[in-house]
Amino acid sequence: VSVAAARPRRRRWPTRVAFLGPGVTWWVVLFAIPVSLVLAYSFARRGPFGGVIYEFSLRNYARAIDPLYLRVVWTSLKLASIATVVAFLLGYPAAYAIATASKRWRLPLLLLVILPFWTSFLIRTYAWIVLLNPAGVLSTLAIRLGLTDGPLPILYNEFAVVLGLVYSYLPLMVLPIYASLERLGPVPEEAAADLYATRWQTMRKVTLPLTLPGIVAGCIFVFVPSLGNFIVPDLLGGGQTVMVGNLIQQQFLTARDWPFGAVIAMFVVVLMIVVLGVQAQVLRRTQEADHGRA
């Protein structure tokens, strides 16, 4: 008996290794090692021709707190936050509409959300330039309709950057919210209605709190890549808006100052860890609340 019981336990090991192995290898090779390298670089010094000289110093960190870079960080946080809020305001109703649509419509609607991903990100960003530029469709239309005298100031500024970010990452907001709405199903809302909650009360006190994990996930999926994006500020911001992603790109490519670029990259990594920590906290709380209710 004991042999029979032990055998499957022993056999589990190869299975575990086989199942976890690829994932762990992936994580170690493509995350843990590169991030450790970046951390190591951040304490090094730039060589005269752009190499890395391994001499421990905190000089790069001291340089990073220069008001110039703090201002760039502030701009990035501001633009990424605005983009996240706008994406939420647009994304939640969209996800709600899809989740509550008839089964026949759900799949085509979801497909429409994902569809833009089938075209290159760069091409879609350039397409916005065509739409927004002073000689472009929108400005021409506005002038023809007599809405404005000159071209609309809608390209090469922060407005265009936020627009580009929202456009790029909106699907990443819609999908997790849709998933949590779908999992929720109609029952809680029906229960709320039975208890004479108004639709607004139902939304505020039942649906929103119960889909919080999806909302937090969506916000992270929008906020994190927005913060690191450098193509949108470059193209739609006309190079006149500098975000953290641009700074990192510039340090690694133009200045070939890898150590300083690494410091800024570390900053983004730390920020991401903080954000993910907040997400974990929120998830735990909702789960605890669930268990409490149960």
Partner 1 sequence: MKTMVNRSVTAFGSSSRDLRRGKALARSRARFYHIRGSGVLTWGVLVMRRRSFAVRSSAIAAVAVLVLGACASDPTTPAATSTVPASPEPLGGTLVISNWDLYMPKSVVRDFEAETGVEVEYALHTTNEDIMGKLTASNGGGFDLVFVSGPFVEALTELGYAAAIDPAQIPNLANLDDEATQLAYDPGNTHSVPYTWGTTGLCYRSDLVSAPPTSWEVFRTSSPDTDQQMTMLGTDRWLLQPGLLSLGYSINTTNPDEIEAAKQWTMEAKPNLLAFDDTTFYAKLVSGEASVVQAWDGWCEYGVLEDPENIEFTIPTEGSDVWTDTMVVMESSQNKAAAHAFIDYILQPEVGKQIVEYTLYKMPNAAVMAAVDPAVLETHETLSISPSELFSQEAQTGLGEEGTILWVEAATEVKAG
Q: Which residues bind partner 1 (CB under 8 A)?
A: 46-51, 68, 71-72, 75, 129, 133-135, 156, 234, 238-242, 246-247, 250-251, 253-257
Q: Which two tokens stand for residue 26?
A: 């992936």
In our burial notation (b when 16+ CB lie closer than 10 A, e otherwise), range 227-243 reads: bbbbbbbbbbbeeebbb
* Minimum gap (Å) between residue 154 Cβ and partner 1: 13
Q: Is-contact 148 65, C-beta < 8 A?
A: no
Give the Cα separation of 24 and 16 in Å (integer).
11
Q: Which two tokens stand for residue 136?
A: 């472009």
* Minimum gap (Å) between residue 84 Cβ and partner 1: 21
* Minimum gap (Å) between residue 253 Cβ and partner 1: 5
Nearer to partner 1, 37 or 270 (CB): 37
* Minimum gap (Å) between residue 234 Cβ and partner 1: 8
* Minimum gap (Å) between residue 205 Cβ and partner 1: 43
Nearer to partner 1, 180 or 241 (CB): 241
Give the Cα separation of 117 and 138 in Å (integer).
24
Nearer to partner 1, 64 or 266 (CB): 64
User: Where do the H-state alpha helices sit in the chain?
Assistant: 2-27, 33-42, 59-64, 67-100, 103-114, 121-132, 137-144, 158-184, 187-194, 199-202, 208-210, 212-228, 231-235, 244-249, 258-293
Nearer to partner 1, 123 or 187 (CB): 123
Nearer to partner 1, 15 or 36 (CB): 36
